[in-house]
């Protein structure tokens, strides 16, 4: 069974940093592209960024609101995905979902999701 379990959320002051972790199990993380999506309280889903598999160079892409402040990384040996968040703003307050990507029917799909971890940026 695929499981993604996020951790590391909490309360942080504006301008601060936080690192989220995602523990993956039940599938081969090393060959899987991974993804972060967030959801502000009472709002819709917002794509944060993705990381390709190491075999694909582990390249990353980010949404404009987080580019230059957030960094996605992975440690396949530990079966873990990370989201390093720096220079946090109040508008970064959200539940952050770790997710796995699959290619189905030739289309990339956000196939599996963690339960999410809440990040609150407030003074």
Partner 1 sequence: DIQLTQSPSSLSASIGDRVTITCRASQSTGNYLNWYQQKPGKAPKVLIYAASSLQSGVPSRFSGSGSGTDFTLTISSLQPEDFATYYCQQSYTIPWTFGQGTNVEIK
Q: How far is the CB of 48 from partner 1 (least distance, A)?
A: 9
67 vs 89, beta carbon nearer partner 1: 67
Annotate each residue in 40-69 with x if it binds partner 1 (CB under 8 A) or - if it does not, as one string.
----xxxx--x----------xxxx-----
**Max alpha carbon distance in the chain (Å)?**
46
Q: List the interface residues with partner 1, window 14-43 (CB under 8 A).
A: 37
Only segment of 7-15, 24-32, 69-77, 101-109 that touches partner 1 (CB under 8 A): 101-109
The nearer residue to partner 1, 13 or 91, going by C-beta atoms, is: 91
CB of 37 to partner 1, least distance (A): 8
Could you give the CA distance from residue 107 to residue 36 in angstroms, rounded to a whole number?
A: 18
Q: Where are the alpha helices (DSSP H) in 1-52?
A: none
The binding site for partner 1 (CB under 8 A) comprises 37, 44-47, 50, 61-64, 97, 104-111, 113-116
């Amino acid at each position: 069974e695929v499981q993604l379990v996020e951790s590391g959320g909490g309360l942080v002051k504006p301008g601060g940093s936080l690192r989220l972790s995602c523990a993956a199990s039940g599938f081969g993380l090393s060959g899987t592209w991974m993804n972060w999506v967030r959801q502000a309280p009472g709002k819709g889903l917002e794509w944060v960024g993705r990381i390709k598999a190491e075999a694909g160079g582990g390249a990353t892409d980010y949404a404009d609101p987080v580019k230059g402040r957030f960094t996605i990384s992975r440690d396949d040996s530990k079966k873990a995905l990370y989201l390093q968040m720096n220079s946090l703003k109040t508008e970064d307050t959200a539940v952050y979902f770790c997710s796995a990507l699959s290619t189905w029917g030739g289309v990339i799909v956000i196939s599996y999701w963690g339960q999410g971890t809440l990040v609150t940026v407030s003074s």
